[in-house]
Amino acid sequence: MNSTFGPVGATNGPVGIAAAGLLTNRLFALPATKQMILDRERSLLTSVWNEAAMQAEINRIETLLQPIIDPVQGLGWHNNLNGMRNFVSTRRATLLAALDAGPTWPDPPKTYPCLDIIAEVTGTFSTTYGTIGNNNPLGTGTGTFSITMGGQTTVLTPVHASAGPDPDNQGGAPRSAIQVFGQRASDNHIVILVITVPTNRFSARSMDLGFFDGNGYVVDYNPATNTSAIVGFMLGTATLTQASSNANAAVVGSFTSHVDMQGMP
């Protein structure tokens, strides 16, 4: 219980400060904001940390649980409550001692994965709902498709498109997908762009492509070897000017996006 981190009873780790996040770590490293953090902690100990109220709540919970006998611990849960009581009664003194001594945070900020822009894609699509899974995906729909990689922009042609229920959905809420296929003349590879969105939001609108609204990714397919490689995941926008999950409904729109992959921090 002498540690800021860890479960009740932990005895190692910094006391009085938790600066694991990038923002908190930076603020604690600056003298002015560090002092603001420490002053705020003292203020909260005075205004919020109320031992009598917390001990009363522990007693109330114990009264509610009194008739229950745990099949594994029996009445051993009383010991857990006593540990909580001890933590509440000693924590103020522990924190004040750490604040008086001047708490330190010895750990550097954790590194986070960065995203490198691998490509940029723009284009349009026009197809109908229910065409995903056709025997010849390159014979469905129309569109335009440009991809920029290494500073070079390639206009893919011909371009085809399909739409329908997401064939890769692994359960959960239904999702709809749009697939755009463009051929690169230099090597005859097929660049495939896939956008997925929850079916209940598959309608005429603009949407963000990334992590929450809609998702997208780009794949490079080599028909000579029947192999494919992921180019990256889309962070951009898509506009559905016409969209419905009704059979044979028109699905028309456009997209513009970075294509990113995890890089070095």
Q: Give the integer Cα–Cα distance in Å for 214 and 178.
A: 11
- Answer whether 177's CB lies under 8 Å from 166's CB: yes
SS3 call for 216:
strand
Task: Give the pLDDT band of residue 74 (cuts 50, 70, 90).
Answer: low
N-to-C CA span, the chain: 35
**Mean pLDDT of the 199-227 span:** 94
- Of the listed ranges 44-48, 67-71, 142-146, 179-183, the one predicted with least confidence: 67-71
Percent of the chain exceeding pLDDT 70 equals 88
Q: Give the integer Cα–Cα distance in Å for 3 and 11.
A: 5
Q: Give the integer Cα–Cα distance in Å for 120 and 193.
A: 12
- Residue 11 pLDDT: 63
| pLDDT tens sequence across 89-101 | 999 998 999 899 9
pLDDT above 90 for 197 = yes
The DSSP line for 66-109 is: TT--BTTTBTTHHHHHHHHHHHHHHHHHHHHHHHHH-----SPP
pLDDT above 60 for 160 = yes
Task: Name the most confidently modeled range: 19-23, 64-68, 75-79, 171-175.
Answer: 171-175
